[in-house]
A and B are shown apart, each in its own frame.
Chain A
Amino acid sequence: MPSAAADVWASGDAYEPYIGRWSRLVAREFLAWLGAPPGARWLDVGCGTGALTEAIMGAGSPARVQAVDPSLEYVRFARRRVRDGRAAFIVADAQALPQPPRSIDVAVSGLALNFVARPHLALAELARVARPGGIVAAYVWDYAGRMELIRYFWDAAASLDPRAAELDEAPRFPICHPDALAALFRDARLRDVETLPIDVPTRFRDFDDYWRPFLGGQGPAPGYAVSLSDECRTALRERIRAALPVAADGSIHLVARAWAVRGTPA
């Protein structure tokens, strides 16, 4: 069985056109939902290319932000992108955070919890570093439902190759459902747990704009796409092209849904 640890997450330049451009839209909605007061001490766990950190620097008006990710390459990418003395970047594991207890006002994680080997450990750490009455919150893609750009990919892949079903993020990441997320947060003794679907439009100029990012190799679906022979990849590409709703002008309008969850540390 392929594991999350085998997924490739190293190149910010390849990640940006694949997911980064859409995750920025989700980050904005997520922060509006949190409504955290300005001047807060933030922690962004699994910061990746810095989409959420960047949104916090803007809309969040933070006192300071610590952003952590296990990938040095991603941290370097995010650091180049977010040049702000209030932000600091650290290579660290969500399951063993280097922050003292109760030192954070708002502890967040965007599109990362499902890639952590033991999410309940990550939640215990988020709850540990957040101060009582603060905010712990996260969001993940709705892989099994309306994260359509990836859903079209795996549905087509599974119809051609039974092996693809094992890599599909939907069955691999059962925490990407509101009930599972809420349970994860409650198990970490967070109170007043709420979930929210966040839908963002993902509009592609044409099929190439949709397909090209899958050739970057970042993440499970692109990793699978680049592992195929040219012949199999072409078959997959054409299967997806046939299934996608293409508008008269050639553009493709899909929806990407993320599930957000929040709770209050006791």
Chain B
Amino acid sequence: MEPWLLEILVCPRCKGDLVHESEPEALVCESCRLRYEVRDGVPILLIDEAKPL
């Protein structure tokens, strides 16, 4: 994932900050308790496809 992108993206649901996780790469919203997958460097920021923490 492009480094500059990490600093920009927010949770599509609550628009709050996302935490970047690695191995496997993911973006986590602590307040929504959702984990968004990153596949081959592409963040999948679809609320319906996020996994509950």
A residues within 8 Å of B by Cβ? 64, 66, 68, 70, 72, 75-76, 79, 85, 88-93, 96-101, 103
Given A85-B2, A100-B15, CB of A91 within 8 Å of CB of B42: yes
In the complex, which residues of chain A have a beta carbon less than 8 angstroms from the beta carbon of B2? 85, 88
- A-B contact count, CB below 8 Å? 52
**B interface, size bucket:** 10 to 19
Other 16 A-B pairs with CB < 8 A, given A91-B44, A91-B45: A68-B45, A75-B42, A79-B42, A85-B2, A88-B5, A89-B42, A91-B42, A91-B43, A92-B12, A98-B9, A98-B12, A98-B43, A99-B8, A100-B10, A100-B15, A101-B15
Given A64-B4, A85-B2, CB of A98 within 8 Å of CB of B42: no
In the complex, which residues of chain B have a beta carbon less than 8 angstroms from the beta carbon of A75? 42
In the complex, which residues of chain A have a beta carbon less than 8 angstroms from the beta carbon of B45? 68, 90-92, 98
CA of A97 to CA of B10, assembled, Å: 8
In the complex, which residues of chain A have a beta carbon less than 8 angstroms from the beta carbon of B42? 72, 75-76, 79, 89-91
The contact sample of 14 A-B pairs, CB cut-off 8 A, is A70-B46, A72-B39, A72-B42, A75-B42, A76-B42, A89-B42, A90-B45, A91-B42, A96-B13, A96-B47, A98-B9, A98-B11, A98-B45, A100-B10
- Is B40 at the interface (CB under 8 A from chain A)? yes
Given A72-B39, A85-B2, A88-B2, CB of A100 within 8 Å of CB of B8: yes
**Contact call B46/A76, Cβ cutoff below 8 A:** no
Closest residue of B by beta carbon distance from A95: B12
In the complex, which residues of chain A have a beta carbon less than 8 angstroms from the beta carbon of B1? 88
**Contact call B10/A66, Cβ cutoff below 8 A:** no
Given A76-B40, A76-B42, A100-B15, CB of A90 within 8 Å of CB of B9: yes
